[in-house]
Structure 1
Amino acid sequence: MIPTREEMYAALENRHGAELQKKLSTASVAVCGLGGLGSNIAIALARAGVGKLHIIDFDRVDISNLNRQQYFPEQLGQLKSDALYDTLKRIAPYCDIRSECVKLDEENIPQLLADDDIIVEAFDKAERKAMLVNCVLENMPQKYLVSGSGMAGIAPSNTITTKRITKRFYLCGDGVSDVADGMGLVASRVLICAGHQAHAVIRIIAGEYDIN
């Protein structure tokens, strides 16, 4: 039997405290890209009790995704936005989830992300990352932005960090590693970077801002 909304909120409040859980429950976060970073970030935020999640991707689940992304073999071929929506609803049935299958670009970003408090960049390709980051910084300076860069290979976990680049822009990763350098993306290290991004979001919601 699925717990009631009140029961699930009470359990989260017991873990996080009333003040933080209220902030989490009223926050709205957009996760742009639902691959290795984005699917893990979205699940972490849903489990933390973030009230509104806006998940965006235009791709479909492929067998090559299964080593690090939060999808199941039976979801192969499904739109990632649909597949992850179903998973998130199983985890957090009362979360307000807006799922969109769309390719973000400079033209549609300001409109599509207008209602989100925090924007998470979780794309795979460097040029797509740069496009989203630049577009948000130039056109939506009032938004908080959390981006990821550098999580490939099997380098030490502690080389992945979270840095506050500007007042509202955070960058997570090692800033160096790239798939093109040799070894590709390994589930554990991608998950570490995703955890950094999700935790940066939670700290922003809590009003705890990194000083570096």
Structure 2
Amino acid sequence: MKIGIAGVGGIGSNVALNLVRSGVMQLKLVDFDRVESGNLNRQFYFVDQIGLFKVDALNINLSRINPEVNLEGQVQRIDRQNCADLFFDCDLIVEGFDRQVDKKMLIETLADKKQVVSANGIAGFDLAGIGSRRIGTCCIVGDFTTDCDQAPLFSHKVTTVANYMSEFILSQPGVLHD
């Protein structure tokens, strides 16, 4: 099974880390952004990778965990026009965007064709409200209230949401058996 990750920041890079460490062998990583120093508190990157495209840095980091993992990376901004084409060959998509408008676009574009795992409410430090909801082919994880515009992002909460998302993905039939 091939899993696409749309946005490889806090959610996307940590879900990818979990999946590769759990034995998932095929990932497609898509993002246009570069690693910045402000990302290092919650994303799977290192100080010597500042300035690299996140897709390229994550490819390096995941390949160090398992050199046999099949990683397809594309440095590209995802939008309504290219979203379906970018992920046509993926069985499940992880939404890892920062902006609500981008999250909505990806779900509206792909949810009737693919299984989508999304995050909503990853900011702040309180873990008590984290849960998941199923809506059609989507699984949405988070506290459903605390947006990035309302509170800072902390590693423990971002990675907890990523862990819940990873649990859902790994429980799907065929994920660990190609």
Task: Return the TM-score normalized by structure 1.
Answer: 0.80
Deviation, 1:98, is 0.3
Q: Does 1:35 align with 2:9?
A: yes
Q: Using the aligned pairs only, state the percent identity.
A: 35
| Alignment map for 1:111-150 (pairs within 5 Å) | 111-137=85-111, 141-150=112-121
User: Aligned ranges for residues 185-200 of structure 1 at < 5 Å?
Assistant: 185-200=153-168
Residue number among 169, 175, 180 corresponding to 2:144 in the alignment: 175
Is 1:154 the counterpart of 2:154? The answer is: no
Q: In structure 1, how many angstroms separate the alpha carbons of the residues matched to 2:125 and 2:85?
A: 38
- After TM superposition, where is structure 1 displaced by more than 3 Å over at least 4 residues in a row? none
Does residue 48 of structure 1 match 2:22?
yes
Give the superposed CA RMSD.
1.2
| Aligned pairs for 1:61-140 within 5 A | 61-137=35-111
Does the Cα contact within 8 Å between 1:36 and 1:190 map onto a contact in 2? Answer: yes
C-alpha contact (below 8 Å) 1:161/1:173 kept by paired residues: yes
Aligned partner of 1:202 in structure 2 is 170
Kept in 1: contact 2:123–2:147 (CA 8 A): yes
Larger RCO of the pair (alpha carbons < 8 Å, separation 6+) = 2
Q: Distance in 2 between matches of 1:96 and 1:179?
A: 32
Following the alignment from structure 1 to structure 2, what is the Cα–Cα distance between the partners of residues 142 and 77?
35
Instruction: Confirm or deny: 8 A CA contact 2:98 2:148 kept in the other structure.
Output: no
Segments of 5+ residues of structure 1 without an aligned counterpart are: 1-26, 208-212
Identify the structure with the greater helix proportion.
1
Aligned residues: 175
Task: State the structure with more CA Rg.
Answer: 1
Instruction: Give the whole-Å Cα distance in 1 for the aligned partners of 2:34 and 2:118.
Output: 22
- Using the size of structure 2 for normalisation, the TM-score is 0.94
For structure 2, the 5+ residue unaligned runs are: none
